[in-house]
Amino acid sequence: MRIHFTSITAFAAALMLAGAAQAETYTFTDLGTLGSTSHAYGINNAGQVVGTFGENNSELYHAAVWNGTTVSVLDTQNKLSAAYGINNVGQVVGRSTLGATLWQGGTASALESADGFALGINDAGQTTVVLGAAASSTGRAINASGAIVGNISVGGADHATLWQGNQVTELSTLGGTDGVASAINDAGQVVGGSSTADGSFHATLWQGTTAVDLGLANNAYSAAYGINNTGTVVGEYRANDGAYHGAIWSAGTGVDLNTLMDADAVAAGWILGAARGINDKGWIVGTAYNTNTLELHAYVLAPAVPEPATALMLLSGLCALGWGVRANDRSKR
């Protein structure tokens, strides 16, 4: 039987991709804090992160944006502010004493609702504040086409909801009465959480109006907070010890993010809490707890890339195997 070199090369490439998928790990970066604590809520495709930092020995928080590990304070005048969303243009939304707030080029401006807040913004500059202004509804995320997801409060229960122009669609639950939609990607996939018939609350993916139970591990509490355009979902779940850990779901399968974190971060005492956002490169943001310092810090997780030398060695070895097969084939002719 003849085995062609091109077949071996294709096999080598497939093997490397399969190995990378099975051994996916993440490199942890501590974003630090200007005070005692920090939290990350959103990330764009350029890797800019938004969130808050808390003043030392104080309940006061300030909106912040990180470029790499360099943090800039967005709001130096107000004593209570937070940044929740950032688009790929670098526009940031959140809340301050102005109410729902847009930060652009270092300047803060009030959005439509003086009493509201803005959780999401798309690249066209459209925000979720139009829904957040209504007492009975909260817009939590917006995609490129302007579709907004969130929840409406009806009779003491929250209903996960999708707004598309003038069309309002109530999303189904997993058998219970409550649901919250937290994020939507450009393909229209929606994630959040909803209650089950037995009253528990599970991370949920909506394909159209159909609710899919993502769940995790012991099937206790879980919730999804972010989804990127490849369909990877992040959020949190309650572990067996009662602590809340960051979680990631890919192709419907969920795992504890702490099991994928690099060994150095684990040794340094970091435990990943809720994962709040993910960009299209697979970078994840949230808040981590350090068991040594007892501090809460914003973090970024970036998928670990195999060292080029390792990949080249594998490819070279398999290519050599291909040439060997060809030589052996010729010797038998």
Same domain, 252 and 183: yes
- pLDDT of amino acid 78: 67
Q: Parallel, antiparallel, or unpaired for β 157-164 and 167-170?
A: antiparallel
In a domain, 291, yes or no: yes
- pLDDT of amino acid 19: 37
Residue whose structure tokens are 């639950």: 173
* pLDDT per residue rounded down to tens, the chain (333 residues): 333 433 333 333 333 333 333 347 999 999 998 888 999 999 999 999 999 998 766 678 899 999 998 999 997 666 789 999 999 999 999 999 888 999 998 799 999 765 678 999 999 999 998 765 555 889 999 999 999 999 998 888 899 999 998 899 999 999 999 999 999 999 999 999 999 999 999 999 999 878 999 988 777 899 999 999 999 999 999 998 899 999 999 988 999 999 999 999 999 999 999 999 999 999 999 999 999 999 999 999 999 875 444 444 444 544 444 444 444 454 444
In a domain, 322, yes or no: yes
Judge whether 249 and 284 are in contact, CB under 8 Å.
no
In a domain, 309, yes or no: no
Same domain, 14 and 71: no
Residue 47's domain comprises: 25-303
In a domain, 191, yes or no: yes
Structural domains of the chain, count: 2
Same domain, 299 and 319: no
- pLDDT of amino acid 266: 96
Q: Which residues pair with 150 in a beta bridge?
A: 139, 161
Same domain, 126 and 9: no
| Buried b or exposed e, range 11-31, using 16+ CB within 10 angstroms | ebeeebeeeeeeeeebebbbb
Same domain, 129 and 215: yes
Judge whether 45 and 88 are in contact, CB under 8 Å.
yes
In a domain, 231, yes or no: yes
In a domain, 310, yes or no: no
Same domain, 7 and 91: no
CATH number for the domain that contains residue 66? 2.120.10.30
What DSSP string runs through 16-57? HHHHHHHT--EEEEE---SSSEEEEEEE-TT--EEEEEEPTT
Same domain, 266 and 141: yes
Same domain, 198 and 170: yes
Same domain, 177 and 198: yes
In a domain, 308, yes or no: no
Same domain, 286 and 326: no
In a domain, 71, yes or no: yes
Predicted TM-score of the model (pTM): 0.84
- pLDDT of amino acid 115: 61
pLDDT by residue (tens digit) across 266-292?
Answer: 999 999 999 999 999 999 999 999 999
Same domain, 197 and 125: yes
- pLDDT of amino acid 306: 56
- pLDDT of amino acid 105: 86
Same domain, 57 and 46: yes
